[in-house]
Structure 1
Amino acid sequence: MTDFLFDVVATELEDAVGRENCSTRTIDKLAHSVDYFWLSRMWADRGLRMPEGDFIVAPKDAKEVSAVLKIANYYKIPVTTWGAGGGTQGGAVPVCGGIVLDTKRMNKIYDVNEQGMYIECGTGAIYKHLEYAANEKGYATMHYPSSLTCSTVGGFLAHRGIGVSSTKYGKIDDMVLQMEVVLPNGDIIETSPAPKHAAGPDLNQIFIGSEGTLGVMTKAQMRIYEQPESRQFRGFLFHNMTDAFNSGRELLQKFKPSVMRLYDEAETASLIKKIVGVEKKGAFMNIAIEGVKEMADLEMKILLETFAKYGAEDLGSEYGEKWWKEKITFFYPGHMMDIPQCFGTMDTIAPYDKIEKIYWAMKEAIETNFPQAKFIAHFSHWYEWGCMIYDRFIVDGDKVPQDPHEAFRLHQAIWNCGVRTALANGGVVNDHHGVGIKLGRLMKEQYGPAMQVFEGIKKQLDPNGIMNPFKLGL
């Protein structure tokens, strides 16, 4: 792009969103080039610069987003949507430059609708602000991920995120009723007014999880719930993983707790010991039951009877209550892995007949092929049919190459090993952190010929290929 054409595009973008909301300053481009993706942080830590956008624009609503996308389509300029930069998969990294579309001005809460039981908001709103708005009316969002205070509604929708109460209330895609979306050509559409219907495929589910490759979600109606009358906790210690999985599967055939978190022995002996205070050997599981007190009391009785059958040691309510209080502390500095360590979370999901096999296969594959790495895991989101593994590898800083290219290779090799092992044993590329640039190469390995369905939708909606290129394997 010549200097003259650069100024042409810049003035058109300024006209679309206001000069004060369009930046080409180096500091703004740098700030929008590094998210929580380990490779982007390592690259910057080694003194190198990540790919940067040429223009940082911050539209206030769908109309301004539409104007930006029409300009981008005309000049065939890449567009990368940016929420709050908390993603771990590089989904917001502008690898092809172009326009970075920052959504945080679209943060208005339009309505807390008590009759319809939803909040209507801009997708640039920090999710914690929705929780505050719901709490003021006596309700809750029941979406409590570790990044609740620092990630946007759109970010969770784009990567199909999940919170700690998902076993009862579902993932983010279960919590959205209707959305406003701007297509790559600038058209503004609304999905159907109800999320469950027979009027064709659910448009919500086409855009949720699409990571900015098919358009820009600008507004959403998110469900709210009455505050539970009772929330009860219970901690347990299992002496083997098989009993823990069997007890969890049986319990989910009877009722749904809000929280189920099972930690393997390695994570129990490290994080759980450090933060919750459990010092016994074994696999720790925390359960939360909530709702009408009479029903919660009955469910607690069923829980205790079910787990007793599998030899679980009842640790009482103290550890569970401590876990709930500290549920985000796990991710604060001093507790969470951080540079100079090399680390990652390879979350996958599978039915109960495969999940334990995947866990042991991934643990063996990573610790055998990369003896410098530690493998720890917990199982944090459970369903009637299966559960997910929140599995992590950690390489201490003194074992990570200082050369950025070699550190890059180590990171990619561990990810290839772990995710391919999950796929080979019946898992998926990812459960709830998304795909981004980190795992895009593995999408075709999971889907094979089915990948053409995604590619066909992408080609139809975004024929110029401007929307978040090289993400999601597209």
Structure 2
Amino acid sequence: MNLKGYAQEMFRSELEDAVGPENVVAVVNDAQKDLAIDQYWLTYMWKQKNEELQLPYFIVRPETTEEVSKVMRICNTYKVPVVPRGGGSGTQGGAATMYGGIVLDVTRMVKIIDIDEESLVLTAQPGINGRVLENKLNKHGFMLAHYPSSVDIATLGGYLAARGSGVMSTKYGKAEDMVLSVEVVLPDGKIVETLPVPNHASGPGLLQLFVGSEGTLGVITKIRIRLDPLPETRLFRMIKFNEIHDGIEAGRQIMINRLNPAVIRLYDPGSTKKSLKGTGMDADGVNMVLMVDGFECIANEQMKKVLEICLENGGTDLGEEPGLYWWNTRYDFYRPPLQPSYPLLYGTVETITTYDKIHKLYDKKKRLVEEKYKEYNAEYMAHFSHWFPWGTMIYDRFYIASPPEDSRELFRLHNQIWADCSRVNLENGALLNEHHGIGFKLGYLMPELYGDMFDVLLNIKKGIDPKGIMNPGKLGFGIW
């Protein structure tokens, strides 16, 4: 609904009554306009080109679950779109206000409610910053073993919104594997809570319905999530391989033998140059960073076996120092000045599949980007950073150093490369994404991914959100 004049002022008055006048903010400056977008390249480019942004009516900052409930009831009554937002670190346009409405900023919801030291379970609000949370947990001897590259920006709720992966996911799992339960405010203001533990035989697991829903089904207001003890030791290594497929095979053998190091990070030559050499490491070619953690006696034996597998696959042990250097500089590539940004045209077309398909997928996407977009001198590079018992993800990017100047031509070119790469993913048994989410960047491809099952998802969305106010335009759901 498009609110104007006294209708919009009445809407504002009701919001102010719910959360206080100081927590309902009209968008009047650039800093507030930044809350209408996230880190998605297209929205950032659009703003830099001074193109028109779809701004929200207001930024609303609740502090409690009850305040979120009141806000949702008001927006449901007025049929006003709600875009939940944490730190805004997303790269898929998931926090972009495509249809105006309000930004529901949860960054005042920062309480640690409980640290259960017997069960190793944290209960906290969704708006707490990842770095702040980790520092507090470390003082108790614990860690939330997520450690994403966005840790300085992202929030706990954001970890769950896109089913995020951290650098140690190979051993500890993704955010979706760590969460026990969530409290959610539904579009009509109802406050619901999933079952207290995720493993049960008490009907379908509704927890995972909300994890990864990117704010399209409700607002997560409380999270119970698994902690882990800080490890006694962390052992590092870097291995050099002759070519990327040798490294993939070594990683596969490590995982199918259930050795589960905390980190396996395999870089192709292009990614070595940008990500490793770019941070000051003396490296070239194909390199694998390894980290094994836990009790020292166990970790030492694990590392011996992991190294044995790597050497059997043609690897050369470069020692501990470069692996430790990677650990200490692992976030530098994702911060200025190394972080890629506009006017460079780039995209992370990452995906995940099983081991039998990953080799062909890498070769096909590399060939697609570098041959089809040769006129733009497009580059393709990849690393493999999250490994599973059955397969691995490929964190691959395309880069164009000198793209067109026109904003609409840029928009179309970016989307065309994304569509081509995504369809190569789907044609080769891979998914649209592994840990960045869908947003509106990939939403239009969701029916291609899910087939007739997309109608099931859409019916769930309509059942929970019949007025379509929750983050419309994301996950391919559109607006109604």
- Same fold (TM > 0.5): yes
Structure 1 CA distance for aligned equivalents of residues 199 and 27 of structure 2: 45
* Cα shift at 1:138: 0.9
Aligned to 1:268: 272
What is residue 5 of structure 1 aligned with on the other side? 7
Correspondence 1:37 to 2:40: yes
- Does the aligned pair in 2 maintain the 1:165–1:258 contact within 8 Å? yes
The equivalent residue for 1:353 is: 356
Q: Do the aligned residues in 2 keep the contact of 1:134 with 1:141 (CA within 8 Å)?
A: yes
Alpha-carbon spacing, 1:99–1:269, altered in 2? closer, same or farther (3 Å): closer
Deviations for 1:322-367, whole angstroms, at most 9, x for unmatched residues? Answer: 0000010111112121111011111100000001111111111111
Please list the CA deviations of residues 24-65 of structure 1 after superposition, one character each: whole Å capped at 9, or x if unmatched.
141264131131111111011111232110111011111111
SS of the counterpart of 1:387? strand
Q: Distance in 2 between matches of 1:381 and 1:297?
A: 22
Q: Give, in angstroms, the shift of residue 67 of structure 1.
A: 0.7
Query: Equivalent residue of 1:316, what SS?
Result: coil
Q: CA deviation at 1:253?
A: 2.4
1:419, 1:429 within 8 Å by CA — same for their partners in 2? yes
Q: Which residue of 2 aligns with 1:14?
A: 16
Instruction: Give, in angstroms, the shift of residue 403 of structure 1.
Output: 1.2
Shift of 1:154: 1.1
Range with greater deviation from structure 2 (204-213 or 245-254): 245-254
Q: Which amino acid aligns with 1:224?
A: L
From 400, 403, 426, give the equivalent of 2:403.
Answer: 400
Q: Are 2:69 and 1:66 equivalent residues in the alignment? A: yes
Equivalent runs, 1:69-218 vs 2, <5 Å: 69-218=72-221
Stretch deviating more after TM superposition (68-77 or 265-274) = 265-274
How far does the alpha carbon of each residue in 1:288-326 deviate from its partner, in whole angstroms, 9 at most, with x for none?
001111110111111121112111011111110000000
Q: Is the 8 A contact 1:380 1:389 kept in 2?
A: yes
Give matches, 1:330-341, under 5 Å: 330-341=333-344
Displaced runs of 4+ in structure 1, greater than 3 A?
Answer: none
What's the CA shift for 1:276?
A: 5.1
Higher alpha-carbon deviation: 236-245 or 309-318: 236-245
Shift in Å, 1:424: 0.9
TM-score, structure 2 length as denominator?
0.96
Q: Which residue matches 1:388?
A: 393
The whole-number CA distance in structure 1 between the counterparts of 2:337 and 2:24 is 36
Distance in 1 (CA, whole Å) between partners of 2:280 and 2:254 is 24
Instruction: Tell whether 2:226 aligns with 1:223.
Output: yes
Aligned to 1:470, what secondary structure does the other structure show?
coil
Native 8 Å contact 2:61 2:104 kept in 1? yes
Q: CA deviation at 1:249?
A: 1.1
- Larger CA deviation: 100-109 vs 25-34: 25-34
> Does the 8 A contact of 2:212 with 2:437 survive in 1?
yes
Match of 1:376 in 2: 381
The answer to whether the 8 A contact 1:350-1:388 is kept is yes
Distance in 2 between residues matched to 1:44 and 1:269, nearest whole Å: 30
Cα pair 2:37 2:97 within 8 Å, conserved? no
In 1, the alpha carbon distance for the partners of 2:433 and 2:216 equals 17
Output the amino acid matched with 1:305.
Answer: E
Which residue type is aligned with residue 389 of structure 1? I
Q: How far, CA to CA, are the matches of 1:127 and 1:270 in structure 2?
A: 26
Instruction: Give the CA deviation at 1:379.
Output: 0.2
Contact 1:119/1:130 (CA < 8 Å) preserved in 2? Answer: no
Contact 1:276 1:319 in 2 (8 A): no
Secondary structure at 2:164's aligned position in 1? coil
Query: 468, 473, 477: which one pairs with 1:470?
Result: 473
Structure 2 distance, partners of 1:75, 1:300, is 59
Specify the code of the residue in structure 2 equivalent to 1:10: R
Distance 1:387 1:355 in 2: 7
Q: Which amino acid aligns with 1:284?
A: N
Distance in structure 2 (CA, Å) of the matches to 1:382 and 1:370:
30
- Return the offset for 1:121: 0.7
Q: Report the Cα offset of residue 279 of structure 1.
A: 3.2
Conserved? CA contact 1:276–1:323, under 8 Å: no
The AA in structure 2 aligned to 1:385 is W
Q: Find the partner of 1:250 among 236, 250, 253.
A: 253
Could you tell me how far 1:274 is from its partner in structure 2? 2.7
CA contact (8 A) 1:29 1:52 kept: no
Partners in 2 of 1:45 and 1:137 — Cα distance? Answer: 43
Q: Work out whether residues 27 and 55 of structure 2, in 8 Å CA contact, stay in contact via their aligned partners in 1.
A: no
Report how far residue 425 of structure 1 moved.
1.1
Whole-Å Cα distance in 2 between the matches of residues 182 and 259 of structure 1? 36
The question of whether the paired residues in 2 share the 8 Å contact of 1:59 and 1:105 is answered with: yes
TM-score, normalised to structure 1, is 0.97
8 Å Cα contact 2:241/2:316 also seen in 1: yes
Aligned to 1:26: 28
Q: Over residues 369-395 of structure 1, what are the superposed CA-to-partner deviations in whole Å (9 max), with x where a residue is unaligned?
A: 112211110000001110000000111
- Give the whole-Å Cα distance in 1 for the aligned partners of 2:58 and 2:36: 12
SS of the counterpart of 2:36? coil
Kept after mapping to 1: 8 A contact 2:27/2:57: no
Pairing 1:278–2:277 present:
no
